[in-house]
Amino acid sequence: MYKLYFKQAWNLIRQERLFSLIYIGGTGLSVTMVMVLSIVFYLKVASIYPETNRSRMLVAKSGVIKKQKGDGSSSGQLSMQMLESAFGGLKGIEAIGAVYENFNTEYFIRPENRKEEIPVAVRFVNRDFWTVFSFRFLEGKPFTEADLQSGIKAAVISRSMARQLFGAEKAEGKYISLNFRQYRVCGVVEDVSQITPVSYGQLWVPYTTSPSYSTTGWESTGMLGRFQGFMLVDKEADINRVKREAEESVTRLDHSLPDVTFSLMGQPDKYWQSVFRRWSSQPVDFTKVVLQYALIFFMFLIVPAVSLSGMADSRMERRLAEMGVRRAFGAPVQSLMKQVLAENFIFTLLGGLFGLLLSYLIVMLSRSWIMLVLASGFDNGGRFEDVTLSPSMLMNGYVFVVTLVVCFLLNLFSALIPAWRAAHRQIVLSLNAK
């Protein structure tokens, strides 16, 4: 029975090619808008190399110090001392990865026995950074905790940087000059895309090798500094419980400080929450944020659906006589509605496939724009490379599910009401329709 419905629907589509083309195009554009947003959000929060542990990660980026008397306050990133004091002893936290931000500094590499200088994106990190983020090592291994504590100038470099510096030769054990300071290459990792700004880099070194680093912070309490913390929660632990205990630990730390109050404004965040935190001195209303983006998705869905519904209604008016004849010969209302819905299902399916392909094309052509959206807060001296988007970043189950849901909703909104009105109209009026 359903095979007959779809065969009839396909024949009608071929007979009304202009209407079909407009309808499929409208559906496709709607799906494209939703899909582009879906892909961008997926890249923001999904587990992508090397940030494959985002689902069990807690993030602390910034804090606020306020004087108990007066209006003085300070806000900024955190000190290593604060991260270790608040989160170091918590049960359920496997490791605390830390990234030290060295603002407004450009870095250049000079290969061994060569004169040219190559600009490079550098990350200053701790040893647990390599536990929290799942880098694939092609040569060697990360620097050790002893290297970090001693300030040993060891470096992990990306595969593309290794090829640029040493060609086909093995990079491990060789030396490079980073801003005229000698570093020994201890490992080579698979390239990281700028789509993952937290872990992105071309060279990773111990934060103790930065001339300006300090673990105790830049103000009197020692709570604020230049670090961001990324806590990896054990697989067996409840991330919500660990988050609550972390918040309680921050509260205890606040109570131990004289004459000031210290707050992380609800941090540590789950990873998806952290991507919406922009200001170091202001909390985030995540319920409001979710509702805002849900409204955007809804508008992208409902506006074209209303237009398509009008087109479907107009088409039904032209087919009233046909439906009147079929009902006069005993066709049930349910059969007519199934026929109309089958036609619109084919429309939306074809439009969905068109929109899916168009969305991938737009994302690939606008990679630099997407990088700017995703990499906010990452300082690379104003330089952005060609952004890499692997197939695994685009071809994923979440995106396919979103596509199917959008197609279904478009079909439901645009076809259900016109089909019901046309199928329930009196037979006499349908037969006399022109």
What pLDDT score does 429 carry? 52
Chain centroid, CA 230 distance in Å: 17
What pLDDT score does 284 carry? 77
Closest of 98, 79, 103, 131 to residue 229, by C-alpha:
98
Chain centroid, CA 312 distance in Å: 36
Would the pTM count as exceeding 0.85? no
- First CA to last CA distance, the chain: 29
Q: Is 20 helix (H, G, I), strand (E, B) or coil?
A: helix
Q: Is 116 exposed, middle or buried (0-12, 13-18, 19+ CB in 10 A)?
A: exposed
Dihedral angle computed from the Cα positions of residues 367, 47, 301 and 342, in that order, rounded to the nearest 10 degrees: 110
Supply 96's token pair.
């605390």
Q: Is 92 left (phi over 0), alpha (psi -120 to 50) or beta?
A: left
Q: What is the DSSP string of 150-187?
A: HT--EEEEEHHHHHHHHTTS--TT-EEEETTEEEEEEE
For residue 41, the tally of other CB atoms under 10 A from its CB is: 17
Strand partners for 270:
58
Q: Give the helix, strand, coil percentages of the chain, each rounded to 5.
A: 50, 20, 30
Q: Is 252 helix (H, G, I), strand (E, B) or coil?
A: helix
What pLDDT score does 370 carry? 62
Q: How far apart are CA 165 and CA 155, in angstroms?
A: 14
Q: How far apart are CA 84 and CA 223, in angstroms?
A: 11
- For β-strands 154-158 and 181-189, DSSP reports them as parallel
On whether the CB atoms of residues 376 and 53 are closer than 8 A, the answer is: no
DSSP state of 48: B
What pLDDT score does 381 carry? 41
On whether the CB atoms of residues 271 and 55 are closer than 8 A, the answer is: yes
Helices (H) and strands (E) counted in the chain, each on its own, are: 15, 16
Dihedral angle computed from the Cα positions of residues 139, 140, 141 and 142, in that order, rounded to the nearest 10 degrees: -90
Q: What is the mean pLDDT of each run of 10 residues along the chain (434 residues)?
A: 64 70 76 78 83 93 84 84 90 94 81 78 94 95 94 94 89 90 94 86 93 69 88 93 94 88 90 82 78 79 67 62 64 68 75 81 73 50 52 64 68 66 58 51
